Amino acid sequence: MKALNRNMEETIQNNKISSGANTKLIEWILRISVAGEFIGHGVFALQGKKDWIGWFAKFGVSDAGVATQLLFLVGIMDVIFAILILLKPVRIVLLWMVFWGFWTALLRPIVGMPVWDFVERWANWGAPLALLLLIGWPKTLRDWFK
């Protein structure tokens, strides 16, 4: 009986170690995925993607120069946040990425693209949300900045 208990305890301990290693691997997969998505969009924004500049007019920014500047700022933010997530996943940044990924996906049908362009981009907000939940939902205001 003691041998059986010892084997069970060893199995439980081994599973904890394996589970912890898997969690770290999943965290890194999500960090790299989120960073890749935001770097990609950020670079497109920095390049002044023509379609995106046109979308600003649908929201009252009809001056192409102003739209280009706003898009450039968004691109800088996307790239900076992507790099930050690779260095240290800060919860408030991940929450922003969830919001921004959802908004930019939802933007497609708002500007006249098929709803499937929204559906196709669910990972743009789902991956940062999964990473946020994996590292832990904050319990205090201060935790949002850790």
Q: What is the pLDDT of residues 59-104, one digit of tens each?
A: 899 899 999 999 999 999 999 999 999 999 999 999 999 999 999 9
Q: Establish if 15 belongs to a structural domain.
A: no
Q: With bands split at pLDDT 50, 70 and 90, how would you rate the model's confidence at 1?
A: low
Q: Establish if 9 belongs to a structural domain.
A: no
Q: Establish if 93 belongs to a structural domain.
A: yes
Q: How many structural domains is the chain composed of?
A: 1
Q: Which of residues 3 and 116 earns the better pLDDT score?
A: 116
Q: Establish if 55 belongs to a structural domain.
A: yes
Q: Establish if 59 belongs to a structural domain.
A: yes
Q: Establish if 111 belongs to a structural domain.
A: yes
Residues of the chain with pLDDT > 70, as a percent, come to 87
Q: Establish if 103 belongs to a structural domain.
A: yes
Rounded CA gap, 89 and 54, in Å? 32
**Cβ 30 vs Cβ 134: under 8 Å:** yes
Q: Establish if 12 belongs to a structural domain.
A: no
- What's this model's pTM, rounded to 2 decimal places? 0.83
